[in-house]
Amino acid sequence: INGYLKLQNNLFFLSLPFSNLIPAISTDSVNPDTIFANNEMSLRDIEIYGFDYDYTLAFYSSHLHTLIFNIARDILITKHRYPEGLRKYEYIPNFAVRGLHYDVQKALLMKIDAFHYIQLGTVYRGLQPVSDEEVIAMYEGCHVPLEIMSDFYGKSSHGHTMKQFMDIFSLPEMTLLSCVNDFFMKHNIDYEPVHLYKDVKEAIRDVHVKGIMYRAVEADIDKYICYGEQSQAVLKKLSAHGKKMFLITNSPFDFVDRGMSYIVGKDWRDLFDVVIVHADKPGFFNDRRKPFRRVTDKGALLWDRIHRLEKGQIYKQGNLYEFLRLTGWRGSRVLYFGDHIYSDLADLTLKHGWRTGAIIPELRKEIKIMNTQPYVHMMTWLQSLTGLIEQMQVHRDPASQAVVEEWIREREAMRPQTKDIFNAQFGSLFRTYHNPTYFSRRLSRFADIYMASISCLLNYDFQHTFFPRRTPLQHESPFWPELRLPLLISLTLFCFSGF
Ligand SMILES: [Mg+2]
């Protein structure tokens, strides 16, 4: 109400009709089971469906992140001789979000937008935020030059000091890095951040490569895998409609077999025309040299040359060029789903012309927040202020400028709220305050469609065409905000509903 009265006074003072400047409050909520399109695509054209395994067909509970964190933390202590005091750190489930950048030399975790600008208020050293002034001093502003950004796959190498964490499995890695940094700082221990980054990376890799995580999941599968029935329903539906299916995963056969037997049943391999394990993506999509190798059920490797990829068999490694030659599954009749935008989808989109579907589990939580009344009101108010500032700034007399300055301050003050509502440290996966994140930009480039889970496919038939909304380009849209008629009523409701 205060905001409304202040606004009314200010507008009266400026002698302007405010009804034209306030956008209506939307009452439409977004269904979290929707499949969203970046690019038009019809399921009518898709004959062959490919899948990644981890976080695409097998969705894991948060227990897995705790497990990875604990094992990697203990590896740091036992193998890399880090201080015993680290053992008191536990996994913090909602500390990090996916898609963050880590400055390896400065030991800072941060969110970067689509234009390579650091989002102030989202820079963390250890578990503590770094002040805006310090960030600006360190980076001589907020812009991160291209030459220090990570390489195409998000990796930090050859002078790239910014690593981007794109894997869902990297949430415990980011949290562990932050905890160890926190410990060293609290105890005034002098350390080399580059060594710390490499040691944590190696410890996390050991959790996967040495099979520790695989054995733990296989031993207690109920605890770690969730929503198995939905994945099963999708695969059965595709099979019932005569679609070809294949699996390309970096995980080992035993682990996938145990998980898929739990999700689908012992006969899961009957659903798939080709199964490839230990694929070594993204190398699988680029490196022509690695041949396929057949693996027996017992894990023995055979030495014969592969002339066909046969149903019921299991193959290891190989490469996409060989896969295309042996199957003939080329171009836009193939749709591949994965949760890693770089390793799973980037090369397919850029080089090979398969259609791509990104699985983004975080969508479910973010859409739930976006559908709440406080969020809708906050965004409407923010848009209103932005529109008012944009239009009213032309009144250059001191009194009008004072009002506009007040709106600018209010808009600035609202910015942290739009971040904190998603995650107190880093905000939404998809937006910095107003811009899309670096993650969003890559998502819209590399994925034709995206969705919270593979189960969203159950809501559509195989004739369905996904159309991206024709959002206007900046030069195509009318002056901000659009003029609408029922605004006065909306504003009144909005102002008296407790915002
Ligand atoms: Mg995956």
Residue pLDDT tens, the chain, 499 long: 345 445 555 555 555 555 566 667 777 899 999 999 999 999 999 999 999 999 999 999 999 999 999 999 999 999 999 999 999 999 999 999 999 999 999 999 999 999 999 999 999 999 999 999 999 999 999 999 888 888 777 787 777 789 999 999 999 999 999 999 999 999 999 999 999 999 999 999 999 988 899 999 999 999 999 988 999 999 999 999 999 999 999 999 999 999 999 999 999 999 999 999 999 999 999 999 999 999 998 889 999 999 999 999 999 999 999 999 999 999 999 999 999 999 999 989 988 999 999 999 999 999 999 999 999 999 999 989 998 999 999 999 999 999 999 999 999 999 899 999 999 999 999 999 889 999 999 999 999 999 999 999 999 999 999 999 988 888 887 765 544 434 433 333 333 333 3
Pairing of the two strands 124-125 and 162-164:
unpaired
From the centroid of its chain, how far is CA 146? 21
Residues assigned a catalytic role: 52, 54
At which residue do the structure tokens 């923010």 appear?
382
In the structure encoding, which two tokens stand for residue 9, read together? Answer: 């006074």
From the CA of 359, how far away is ligand 1's center (Å)? 9
Q: What is the CA radius of gyration of the chain?
A: 25
At which residue do the structure tokens 């805006």 appear?
132
From the CA of 133, how far away is ligand 1's center (Å)? 38
CATH architecture type of domain 40-60+225-356: 3-Layer(aba) Sandwich (3.40)
* Residue 54 assigned to a binding site: yes
pLDDT given at position 472: 85
CB atoms within 10 A of CB 1: 10
299 contact partners, CB below 8 Å, separation of at least 6:
253, 254
From the CA of 337, how far away is ligand 1's center (Å)? 9
From the CA of 136, how far away is ligand 1's center (Å)? 36
- Residues lying with their CB under 5 A of ligand 1, a single-atom ion: 52, 54-55, 339
What pTM did the predictor assign?
A: 0.89
- Single-letter residue type at 347: D
From the CA of 135, how far away is ligand 1's center (Å)? 33
CB atoms within 10 A of CB 5: 10
pLDDT given at position 5: 47
From the CA of 170, how far away is ligand 1's center (Å)? 11
Whether 247 contacts 50, CB under 8 Å? yes
The dihedral built from the CA positions of residue 179, 343, 448 and 455, taken in this order, carries a sign that is negative
Whether 125 contacts 448, CB under 8 Å? no
Whether 388 contacts 406, CB under 8 Å? no
- Single-letter residue type at 463: Q
What is the distance between the alpha carbons of residues 285 and 281, in angstroms, rounded to a whole number? 7
Helix (H) or strand (E) holding 5: helix 2-13
What is the distance between the alpha carbons of residues 352 and 358, in angstroms, rounded to a whole number? 16
In the structure encoding, which two tokens stand for residue 446, read together? Answer: 């590399």
Partners of 293 in the β-ladder: 316
pLDDT given at position 6: 55
Q: Where are the domains of the chain?
A: 2-32+363-495, 40-60+225-356, 63-218
In the structure encoding, which two tokens stand for residue 374, read together? Answer: 């406080």
The dihedral built from the CA positions of residue 418, 446, 94 and 118, taken in this order, carries a sign that is negative
Whether 104 contacts 156, CB under 8 Å? yes
Whether 277 contacts 83, CB under 8 Å? no
CB atoms within 10 A of CB 357: 27
From the CA of 186, how far away is ligand 1's center (Å)? 35
Partners of 162 in the β-ladder: 103
pLDDT given at position 156: 77
From the CA of 168, how far away is ligand 1's center (Å)? 8
From the CA of 339, how far away is ligand 1's center (Å)? 5
From the CA of 421, how far away is ligand 1's center (Å)? 27
